[in-house]
């Protein structure tokens, strides 16, 4: 089978007993960076020399079929550098290929930067969305954030420390300077820091320079108070701009709290 194994995101003490056992008995490990895996084995005191196969963003599509066939006869342990494989890390294409080939896929759960940041943020956790890394180019990043302006769920992003200040400034511009934001830095490590404030406040703070691995947690948009007539008008405006009626109704419903079906039917009738 294919075994997706979560590895520590910082503190080695977070390595589960199941992970240590799997690393100690594995004969084949597909790793994002084999050097990181060798270091992990040494750091955990594991004296095992499995076959290491490199599996990263640039070769995963080519390696997937080979690993799936290998997994028909032996377990293939899949590791990313930190956290759970497939979550903004290699593994998705391998899992997809295994599922299509009827090969069993399981997971050894464990550390996750996304869930850790969400849990400590103090922002609502009942509904959230993970958006991965924001685009590198400023224009693309601003467009991506504008598309999330009406997102009502708490949003979790990964971000580079070098781009954090400019990204927070873009959050303030696209989502509002008073939008609640939490920057989680170096989670589970010695210099762990959780900084809370508004987008504008944290953009100013980050301008002085920030180091380490960053998770950015952003509060969702508050539902606007809107009557049905206004909601229908917004649906029609979105449709006029090229959005499908069904999608427009869903977007306005999420932002206003109005019923999606009510918006759809009223807009359809008015049309």
How does DSSP assign 58-124, residue by residue?
A: TTHHHHHHHHHHHTTTS-EEEE-SSB-TTSSSTTHHHHHHHHHHT--EEEE----HHHHHHHHH-S-
Tell me, what's the pLDDT at 66?
A: 96
128 is a domain residue: yes
Based on the domain organization, do 51 and 103 belong to the same domain? Answer: yes
Q: How many domains does the chain have?
A: 3
Q: What is the CA radius of gyration of the chain?
A: 22
Residue 107 buriedness (CB in 10 A; 0-12 / 13-18 / 19+): middle
Containing structural domain, residue 149:
113-218
Q: How many CA atoms lie within 13 A of 187 on its CB side?
A: 24
Based on the domain organization, do 122 and 176 belong to the same domain? Answer: yes
Tell me, what's the pLDDT at 254?
A: 74
CA 254, 255, 258: angle at the middle one, nearest 5?
A: 70
Condensed to tens digits (0 to 9), the pLDDT of residues 241-259 reads 888 999 889 888 877 778 9
Q: How much is the pTM?
A: 0.82
Sequence-distant (≥ 6) Cβ neighbours of residue 98 within 8 angstroms: 2, 64, 68, 71, 104, 105
Based on the domain organization, do 15 and 34 belong to the same domain? Answer: yes
User: In a structure prediction context, what are the per-residue pLDDT tens digits for the chain, which is 271 residues long?
Assistant: 999 999 999 999 999 999 999 999 999 999 999 999 999 999 999 999 999 999 999 999 999 999 999 999 999 999 999 999 999 999 999 999 999 999 999 999 999 999 999 999 999 999 999 999 999 999 999 999 999 988 999 999 999 999 999 999 999 999 999 999 999 999 999 999 999 999 999 999 999 999 999 999 999 998 777 889 998 998 999 999 888 999 889 888 877 778 999 999 999 888 7
């Amino acid at each position: 089978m294919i075994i997706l194994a979560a590895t520590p995101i910082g503190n080695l003490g977070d390595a589960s007993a199941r992970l240590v056992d799997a690393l100690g008995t594995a004969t084949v490990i597909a790793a994002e960076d084999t050097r990181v895996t060798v270091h992990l084995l040494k750091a955990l005191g594991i004296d095992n020399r499995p076959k290491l196969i490199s599996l990263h963003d640039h070769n995963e599509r080519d390696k997937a079929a080979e690993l799936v066939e290998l997994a028909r006869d032996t377990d293939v342990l899949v590791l990313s550098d930190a956290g759970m494989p497939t979550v903004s890390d290699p593994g998705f294409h391998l899992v997809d290929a295994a599922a299509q080939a009827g090969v069993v896929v399981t997971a050894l759960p464990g550390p996750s930067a996304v869930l850790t940041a969400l849990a400590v943020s103090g922002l609502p956790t009942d509904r959230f969305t993970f958006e991965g890394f924001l685009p590198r180019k400023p224009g693309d990043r601003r467009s991506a954030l504008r598309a999330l302006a009406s997102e009502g769920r708490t949003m979790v992003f990964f971000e580079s420390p070098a781009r954090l200040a400019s990204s927070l400034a873009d959050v303030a511009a696209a989502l509002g300077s008073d939008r609640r934001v939490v920057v989680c830095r170096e989670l589970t490590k010695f210099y762990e820091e959780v900084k809370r404030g508004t987008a504008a406040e944290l953009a100013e703070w980050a301008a002085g320079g920030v180091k380490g691995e960053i998770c950015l947690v952003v509060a969702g948009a508050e539902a606007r108070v809107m009557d049905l007539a206004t909601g229908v008008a917004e649906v029609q405006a979105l449709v006029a701009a090229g959005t499908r009626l069904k999608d427009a109704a869903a977007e306005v419903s999420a932002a206003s709290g109005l019923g999606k079906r009510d918006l759809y039917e009223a807009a359809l009738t008015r049309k």
